[in-house]
Amino acid sequence: MSFNDEFELLLRARYPLIYIPTLEEERVEVAITQSARNLGNRAVYIWDFVDGYQGNLNDVGFGRRNPLQALEFVEQLAQSNAAIFILRDFHRFLEDISISRKLRNLSRQLKSQPKNIAIVTPQVAIPPELTEVLTVLEFPLPKASEIKAETIRLLGATGQSLNDKVLDELVRSAQGLSLERIRRVLARAIASHGEIKPEDVELILEEKRQSIRQTQILEFYPTQEKISDIGGLDNLKDWLLRRGGAFTERARQYGLPHPRGLLLVGIQGTGKSLTAKAIAHHWHLPLLRLDVGRLFGGLVGESESRTRQMVQLAEALAPCILWIDEIDKAFSGIDSKGDAGTTSRVFGTFINWLAEKQSPVFVVATANNIQALPPEMLRKGRFDEIFFVGLPSQEERYAIFELHLSRLRPHNLKSYDLERLAYETPDFSGAEIEQTLIEAMHIGFSQNRDFATDDILEAASQIIPLARTAQEQIQFLQNWAAAGKARLASRDGRFASRIPRQAW
C-alpha cells in the first residue's frame, strides 16, 4: 500500500492525530495535499513555529511562536469543515504538559469531525502519554518511478535527453536518496557542464555515501575482495556461487525469491568478515555495514526510530548486502537488560523484518558466541542458511604462511620452512598467524637483520591462541555444529575451516 493510500485510509477512518517522521518535508506536504484533493478538496493548513499558519489569507501568521494557539485554531474552525492541519517540527513541544493535554483532548473531539492533524517531524519522539493517541505513518524514500520522473523533468529543462540504459543507471544509482538530494546533485551536474552525463553516476554515488554517513547508522563499505581470494570454505563458496544471479530479472521470471541472507558462526579470525566483503564484490552489490550499537539512542523512541530508518534506507538501496558484524554482542541477554525494554523492542522490530522482508536486501550476519544469540535469531526463515566456520587445518596453515611470506618476502620465500611453521602452530587462526609474523619482523628489525623461521617460531611460542584461552567456548561451538545445528563452511569433516588465501 502506498503512502497516499494508507494516509487516505486513516483520514476516512477518522484517525485524529497522525505522526509522520521524515526529513522530506516538502515532498510529504505535496503528498498530503494530493490526498486532500482526492478526498473532496479538503482544506490544508500548514503551521510552523516561526511563521505560524500559512496559505490561508485570513489566518496568515496565526499561532506564530505559540504551539498551544496552533492547536486551539483547530477547535475554532467550524466542526463541519473538512481540513488537514500540518504541524511542522511539533515533536519539540510534545513534552509540554499543556500541549500533551490539549492533543489528548483533541483526539476525542476530532473523532466525530472531518479534521485531522498531521505532525511532520524529522524523527520519532513520542512521550509515553501520547502513544495511544498518535498513529505513526512511515513516509518512504522516493521510488524508482518518482526518481525517473524527476530526472526526466530536469533533462527537459535543459533540452536534453538520455537513452534508456543510461537513464535507468542514473535512477538505480539514486535510489536511497531523498528527492531534494537528487535534485541537488543533478543540478550540480548541470551547473558543472551544462548537461547530465553518464559519468555523473559517480556524483550520485558520492552523494549517497554522504547521505549514509550522515545517518551515523549505516556505513557504505568499499570492497575489493573476491570469492576467488577465499581459499577453502568450499561448501560456502559453492552455495554463494549458485546464488550469484539470484537478484536478476531472469531469476524473478523463473520464480525464484530473493536470497534472504546468511549467518556465519565461528571462531574469531577465521574469515567471516572477509566473506561478507567478497559476496558484495562478486555479486556487484553495494555493501552496507551496520553497527547495531548505533541503533540505540538516549531519547524515548529514538532507538526504534533509528531501527526503522535503517530498514527504510537499506530497502531503498536494494539490491544490496547488509553486513552485521558480531551480532551476538548486540543482542546478548536481551531479557536481562535494564533499559525499559528498548533492546527487546529493537530486536523484535529487526527480527520481524528479517522474517517478513520482500526486498532484495541480503543480510550477512557474523557471530562468535552462538550461546549469546536469542533462539529466535536461529529459527529457519530468518536466514537462508547458517554456516559454521572453524579453525584452519595444518594444510591450510601452510597456505596462510605461504601467502603472507610471499607478500612480505617474495624474493626470500624458499628460505622459510613452511612445513615446520604449519606443524608448530596448531589451533592458530589466520589472524593469529599474521600477528605471529609481525612479531617475528619486530625481532629481526630490532637486531638489524631479516627475520627467519626461528624468529617466527619464537614469536609463535609467545602467543597463546584463542583456541586455548577460550577452549570451552570453541568446544561448545564444534559440538553445536557437529549436532547438525549449522552447515559446515568447509568440506573438511574435522571442523577446520579453510582460511582465505590473502592477507588478513
What pLDDT score was predicted for residue 6? 96
Q: Would the pLDDT of 444 be above 60?
A: yes
Taking the domains of the chain in order of start, what are their residue ranges? 3-136, 144-215, 227-389, 394-426+430-464
Range 376-385 burial, b when 16+ CB lie within 10 A, else e = ebbeeebbbb
Which residues, other chains included, contact 108 with Cβ-Cβ below 8 Å and sequence gap of 6+? none
Q: What does the pLDDT average to over 138-153?
A: 88
Q: Would the pLDDT of 503 be above 50?
A: no
What pLDDT score was predicted for residue 296? 77
What is the chain's percent helix, strand, coil content, to nearest 5? 55, 10, 35
What pLDDT score was predicted for residue 113? 93
- Highest mean pLDDT out of 127-136, 164-173, 274-283, 345-354: 127-136
Query: 227-389 falls under which CATH superfamily?
Result: P-loop containing nucleotide triphosphate hydrolases (3.40.50.300)
Q: Would the pLDDT of 447 be above 90?
A: yes
Q: pLDDT of 65-116, one tens digit each?
A: 999 999 999 999 988 899 999 999 999 999 999 999 999 999 999 999 999 9
With a pLDDT cut of 70, the percent of the chain lying above it is 94
Same fold, 144-215 and 394-426+430-464: yes
Q: Report which secondary-structure segment, H or E, holds 469.
A: helix 466-469
Q: How far apart are CA 296 and CA 316, in angstroms?
A: 22
Question: The domain 394-426+430-464: what is its CATH number?
Answer: 1.10.8
Secondary structure class of 376 (helix, strand, coil):
helix
Q: pLDDT of 6-18, one tens digit each?
A: 999 999 999 999 9
DSSP state of 485: I
What pLDDT score was predicted for residue 340? 58
Q: pLDDT of 104-138, one tens digit each?
A: 999 999 999 999 999 999 888 899 999 999 999 99
Residue 500 binned pLDDT confidence (cut-offs 50, 70, 90): very low
Under 8 Å between Cβ of 127 and 97: no
What pLDDT score was predicted for residue 494? 45
What pLDDT score was predicted for residue 68? 96
Beta pairing partners, 18: 118, 135
What top-level class would CATH report for the domain 144-215? mainly alpha
What pLDDT score was predicted for residue 57? 63
Closest to 204 measured CA to CA, from 254, 156, 157, 167: 167
Q: Would the pLDDT of 301 be above 80?
A: no
Q: Which of 180-189, 208-217, 312-321, 377-386 has the lowest mean pLDDT?
A: 208-217
More confident residue, 24 or 271: 24
What pLDDT score was predicted for residue 3? 94
What pLDDT score was predicted for residue 339? 57
Q: What are the grid coordinates assigned to 437, written together?
A: 609474523
Q: What are the grid coordinates assigned to 206, written together?
A: 558520492
On the question of a cis peptide bond just before residue 319, with omega within 30 degrees of 0, the verdict is yes
Which residues, other chains included, contact 147 with Cβ-Cβ below 8 Å and sequence gap of 6+? 171, 174, 175, 179, 182
What pLDDT score was predicted for residue 445? 95
Q: What does the pLDDT average to over 391-397?
A: 81
| pLDDT averaged over every residue in the chain | 86
With a pLDDT cut of 90, the percent of the chain lying above it is 37
Q: What does the pLDDT average to over 136-163?
A: 87
What pLDDT score was predicted for residue 495? 45
Residue 44 binned pLDDT confidence (cut-offs 50, 70, 90): very high
State which fold the 3-136 domain adopts: Rossmann fold (3.40.50)
Instruction: Give a three-class secondary structure readout of 382-397.
Output: CCCEEEEECCCCHHHH
Q: Which of 22-36, 37-51, 74-88, 209-223 has the lowest mean pLDDT?
A: 209-223
Q: What does the pLDDT average to over 161-187?
A: 85
More confident residue, 136 or 223: 136
